[in-house]
Amino acid sequence: MDLRSFMKRVDELGELLVIEGADWDSEIGAACFLAAKQSPPPGVIFVKVKGYPAGYRIFANPYSNDKRAALTLGLPIEASGLELVRKIRDKISKPVELIPSTMVKSGPVTENVLAGDDVDLFKFPTPKWQPLDGGRYIGTGCTVIAKDLEEGWINVSTQRVQIHDKSTVTVFTEPGRHLDMIRKKYWAKGQSCPAVITCGSHPAFVFVGGMRIPWGVCEYDYLGWFVGESIEVIAGPTTGLPIPSHAEIALEGEMLPPEVESRIEGPFSEWTGHYSPARPEAAFKVRAILHRDDPIILAVLPFLGPEGRSRSPFDMVKEAQVWNMLDMSVPGVKGVCTHREFGGMLVMVISIEQKYAGHAKQVALLALGQMSYFTKFVIIVDDDIDPSNLSQVLWAVGLRSYPEEYDVIRNTLAGNLDPSVSPLKRELGDLTRSGLIILACRPFHWIKDYPIPVVPDPMMEKKIKAKWKDLA
């Protein structure tokens, strides 16, 4: 299970765009934006990057449409939209039977091992993705591997990683993430936190690394269950931590306590469509580099422009999780959807068949509780509205909602990446703001008397299309 087999499958689907001779300084990022606007948006492989050996490549936009999102998750590639979310629901609803990783003596990642003065991060064609980024980011489609100091379990998480010099990077992670809690245990004892950063594996590693898996559960074992096979790992020669044997690049080292050494991380062009502010972050000293011959950097850019991407697997999994959670608590949920036009998880649209007075508000409050991280709006619509159809959703908001009944829920969780959190609140460590509930559905107490919406007769439409082909 590696990146190269995934890329081969993307190529077989006719969705791999090859770009030759791009410059690492902003050209690659701009090309990713343009590629993401195509229909369907392809995956992009950058070859012969200016100033680097021809075999050193970058694979970007791995799941910029529903087909490749399904491919990443091992689901039928014909599924899309709400049907794909239903497939994800079916998968994650099954009992989880963890499959432990398998330790092997060696793998492709050990084809080249560099240590000491041979460590040089600039040997890889790491892009500066956007003009105002604070530097070159080797980690956008990476995972960070660390071991809990007290309990001994392995955490594999998705973060972003910036290069500062030939042997120093920074790892940005939000407060409360498992990696943040693990590294602080080492720092509290005056120790550095051993860790490994992989910069090129099957995209499923990035997907699972970004999921909210319970504390104490190793993401390798969860991924093994998800794909149905044990993940092969090697013991890192410097840290002893388990590294995917088929990873393209692995950076072994340690996160120093912030008071020992920090660097200014960012700004970075994040998924919100804004540059996240620069801030101090603990220095990560790279002690060794392992990489395959002709290594490939995996790039999962968080933002590909307002026109530039379908929902990511992260959005779809969150939709499936919320849908499952609602089904365990309330009846009548017909669909859950986010929209890239609204910034992904910032807006959650839920379709319900109203069963009783207060049903819509109950669903909204439950969903906002589950989705509190970054979600600003929860919109509830009737079951005659397709929550994945943004035109229908906006129509319902315009004609079925009552602004005087909108509910503001204060002190919900935001995050460092939320551009609407003020500098003062950031300084105080207050990463909260408000959420808004919009009930864009017919009032239950007179729902039977609500004016009937105009809906074309499907049989007449079929007849007209058969009679006048130009209308089909």
CB contact set of 458 (below 8 Å; sequence gap of 6+)? none
Q: 104 and 210 share a domain?
A: yes
Domain of 444, CATH number, reads: 3.40.1670.10
Q: In this structure, is residue 32 part of a structural domain?
A: yes
Q: 45 and 165 share a domain?
A: yes
Cα dihedral value 5, 6, 8, 12, nearest 10: 140
Q: 35 and 120 share a domain?
A: yes
Range of 62's domain? 3-299
Degrees (nearest 5) of the Cα angle 160, 162, 166? 140
Q: How far is CA 300 from CA 10, 32, 52, 204, in A?
A: 15, 10, 21, 11
Q: 281 and 346 share a domain?
A: no
DSSP state of 369: H
DSSP state of 116: G
Q: 85 and 205 share a domain?
A: yes
Q: 200 and 238 share a domain?
A: yes
Quote the CA–CA distance of 462 and 345 in Å, as a whole number: 37
Q: 283 and 349 share a domain?
A: no
Q: In this structure, is residue 262 part of a structural domain?
A: yes
Quote the CA–CA distance of 62 and 69 in Å, as a whole number: 8
Q: In this structure, is residue 138 part of a structural domain?
A: yes
Q: In this structure, is residue 54 part of a structural domain?
A: yes
Cα dihedral value 62, 67, 73, 78, nearest 10: -170
- Give me the pLDDT at residue 298, please: 97
Backbone φ and ψ for 75, nearest 5 degrees, come out as: -110, 165
Domain of 252, CATH number, reads: 2.30.110.10
Do residues 91 and 332 touch, judged by C-beta distance below 8 A? no
When divided into structural domains, the chain yields a total of 2
Please report where in the chains the tokens 């008071």 appear, as a residue: 259
- Choose among 144, 167, 139: nearest CA to 154: 144
Q: In this structure, is residue 218 part of a structural domain?
A: yes
Instruction: Give residue 432's identity as a one-letter amino acid code.
Output: T
Q: In this structure, is residue 461 part of a structural domain?
A: no
- Give me the pLDDT at residue 7, please: 96
Q: 278 and 354 share a domain?
A: no
- Give me the pLDDT at residue 379, please: 96
Q: In this structure, is residue 434 part of a structural domain?
A: yes
Do residues 323 and 333 touch, judged by C-beta distance below 8 A? yes
Q: 110 and 210 share a domain?
A: yes
Q: 259 and 364 share a domain?
A: no
Do residues 140 and 302 touch, judged by C-beta distance below 8 A? yes
Q: Which two tokens stand for residue 398?
A: 């315009």
- Give me the pLDDT at residue 456, please: 79
- Give me the pLDDT at residue 297, please: 98
Each residue's pLDDT expressed in tens, for the chain with a length of 472 residues: 899 999 999 999 999 999 999 999 989 999 998 888 888 889 999 999 999 999 999 999 998 888 888 998 888 988 888 888 899 888 888 889 999 999 999 999 999 999 999 999 999 999 999 999 999 999 999 999 999 999 999 999 999 999 999 999 999 998 889 999 999 999 999 999 999 999 999 999 998 998 888 999 999 999 999 999 999 999 999 999 999 999 999 999 999 999 999 999 999 998 888 899 999 999 999 999 999 999 999 998 877 766 555 567 778 888 888 999 999 999 999 999 988 778 777 899 999 999 999 999 999 999 988 776 778 899 999 999 999 999 999 999 999 999 998 999 998 888 788 888 888 888 888 888 889 999 999 999 999 998 888 877 889 888 988 888 887 7
Quote the CA–CA distance of 52 and 122 in Å, as a whole number: 10
Q: 356 and 242 share a domain?
A: no
Q: What are the start-end ranges of the E strands in 38-192?
A: 43-47, 57-60, 102-103, 112-115, 136-139, 143-147, 154-157, 160-165, 168-172
Q: 246 and 146 share a domain?
A: yes
Backbone φ and ψ for 326, nearest 5 degrees, come out as: -65, -40
The pTM of the full predicted model, rounded to 2 decimals, is 0.86
Quote the CA–CA distance of 2 and 198 in Å, as a whole number: 12
> Is it true that the peptide bond before 267 is cis, omega within 30 degrees of 0?
yes
Q: In this structure, is residue 469 part of a structural domain?
A: no
